[in-house]
Chain A
Amino acid sequence: MARTRQSDARSRRIGLILFAACMVVAVPTLIVLFSIAGKSSSPWFGQYDPDTHHAYNFSLTDQDGKTVRLVDLRGDAVLLAFGFTRCPNICPTTLGNLAAVYRKLPPAAQERTKVVFISVDERDTPASMKEYVPFFNDRFIGLTGAPADIGTTARAYGAFFRKADAVGSDKDDYMIDHSTYAHLIDPEGNLRVLYRFEQLPETEKITDDVLRVLGTQAPGKQP
């Protein structure tokens, strides 16, 4: 009887020690997990690339006929999209959303942000870009280039484009199928965030991402 009571007390002690040991492991683990979850309440909005990948240093022609290289934009955040000026709705919607992002930035951040639209259409020229780009914002940069340079640039950014069949007898009346991603490149020239077309209307969240790559957190936002 006395042995049973002793054995019960020993079992209870072992149980308590096991329980305490579990708590010692579980409580800090839960604290760490909750703190990670807390931090992820303000994650990057787009698909963030934590690794350092230098964005391809294109060299193309802007709407004023000047050569623009990505490296010339070092020190600024760059929002980059591919498209063409005859695009019925994807490109105007993309640029409309990027213009809304730009308007939401404080003036100092606007000075350090460039929105770049690269045409994948060989019919586009600096002149057509000169007409098109100010429809959205006259500070945006519209780039064209030789088909080989455009092809290399698009491939380097993982962008796809393909000339669709001509409509009717006019061989110049055609659309271009193209991918619809937008990239955010940080001031060091690294690809940082990728946005799907469906994400672009969330301009407030993209503005926060731009401010983060610029190192100027949006007011009232947690790091």
Chain B
Amino acid sequence: MRRVPLLLLACLLLSCRPMPEPAPDPGPLTGRQIYMARCIACHQVDGRGIPSICPPLLNSPQLSGPPEDLIRILLLGMKGRIVRDGTTFNGLMPAWRFDLSDGQLADVINDLYARWKPETPAVTEQTVRMIREETAGQKLFPTAKELRLSE
């Protein structure tokens, strides 16, 4: 008889789950995590882009060009027609200057370089800060022509 309550208690305990341990602090987001949260809808996980809207990151002239151009695009966004290898794209890239810090933008750009242009030297937070100051007050969503980007 004394064993019955023990048996019931054992059944009850077996059906209980252990309390989850508190999740460790994930720390600041990496460039890749920011890319995955904010960029993949258009650029896709593998950077292939979207036909007629968003050009691929692979062989992108902006990844081969001066990092300042890339930083301007991330800070101000960009819209309108661009032509890549004879193919036209017409999309709108968000402007991240209000949401991402200089360090986060540098991390995102360095992640792009690591994946699609690995020999490129890393961009520093200081360079992003310089371009942020330079572009303060400029209108958002310039066209490729206004940004004087190479096609």
Contacts of A14 in B (CB 8 A): 1
User: Given the interface contacts A88-B94, A89-B99, A136-B53, does A18 sit within 8 Å of B4 by beta carbon?
Assistant: yes
Please determine whether A89 and B94 come into contact, CB atoms closer than 8 angstroms.
yes
Is the CB of B95 closer than 8 A to any CB of chain A?
yes
Nearest-CB distance from A1 to chain B (Å)?
18
Please determine whether B42 and A96 come into contact, CB atoms closer than 8 angstroms.
yes
Please determine whether A96 and B77 come into contact, CB atoms closer than 8 angstroms.
no
Choose the segment among B33-41, B102-110, B111-119 that binds chain A (4+ C-beta atoms closer than 8 Å): B33-41
Contacts of B37 in A (CB 8 A): 201
Is the CB of A92 closer than 8 A to any CB of chain B?
yes
The residue on B at minimum CB distance from A88 is B95
Number of interface residues of B (CB under 8 A): 29
Please determine whether A134 and B95 come into contact, CB atoms closer than 8 angstroms.
no
Contacts of B94 in A (CB 8 A): 88-89, 92-93, 96
- Distance A218 CA – B37 CA, assembled complex (angstroms): 24
Is the CB of A38 closer than 8 A to any CB of chain B?
no
Interface string of B87-99 (1 = CB under 8 A from A): 0001111111111
User: Given the interface contacts A26-B11, A30-B15, A135-B91, does A88 sit within 8 Å of B53 by beta carbon?
Assistant: no
Task: Among A86, A103, A135, A201, point to the contact of B36 (Cβ < 8 A).
Answer: A201
User: Given the interface contacts A14-B1, A201-B40, does A92 sit within 8 Å of B8 by beta carbon?
Assistant: no
Contacts of A88 in B (CB 8 A): 77, 94-99, 140
Please determine whether B7 and A92 come into contact, CB atoms closer than 8 angstroms.
no
Please determine whether A92 and B92 come into contact, CB atoms closer than 8 angstroms.
yes
Contacts of A89 in B (CB 8 A): 38, 77, 94-96, 98-99
Contacts of B7 in A (CB 8 A): 19
Please determine whether A19 and B41 come into contact, CB atoms closer than 8 angstroms.
no
Please determine whether B41 and A134 come into contact, CB atoms closer than 8 angstroms.
no
Contacts of B3 in A (CB 8 A): 15
The residue on A at minimum CB distance from B91 is A135
- Distance A8 CA – B3 CA, assembled complex (angstroms): 13
Interface string of A160-179 (1 = CB under 8 A from B): 00000001100000000000
Number of interface residues of A (CB under 8 A): 30
Is the CB of B28 closer than 8 A to any CB of chain A?
no
Nearest-CB distance from B92 to chain A (Å)?
4
The residue on A at minimum CB distance from B51 is A103
Is the CB of B132 closer than 8 A to any CB of chain A?
no
Contacts of B140 in A (CB 8 A): 86, 88
Is the CB of A35 closer than 8 A to any CB of chain B?
no
Contacts of B8 in A (CB 8 A): 19, 22
Is the CB of A144 closer than 8 A to any CB of chain B?
no
The CB with the most chain A CB atoms within 10 A, among B8, B36, B42, B96, is that of: B42
Is the CB of B79 closer than 8 A to any CB of chain A?
yes
User: Given the interface contacts A30-B15, A86-B140, does A135 sit within 8 Å of B41 by beta carbon?
Assistant: no
Nearest-CB distance from A35 to chain B (Å)?
15
Contacts of B98 in A (CB 8 A): 88-89
Nearest-CB distance from B104 to chain A (Å)?
13
Interface residues of B (CB under 8 A from A): 1, 3-4, 7-8, 11, 15, 36-38, 40-42, 50, 53, 77, 79, 90-99, 137, 140
A-B contact pairs, 10 of them (CB 8 A): A18-B4, A88-B94, A88-B95, A89-B38, A89-B98, A92-B77, A96-B41, A97-B41, A135-B92, A136-B91
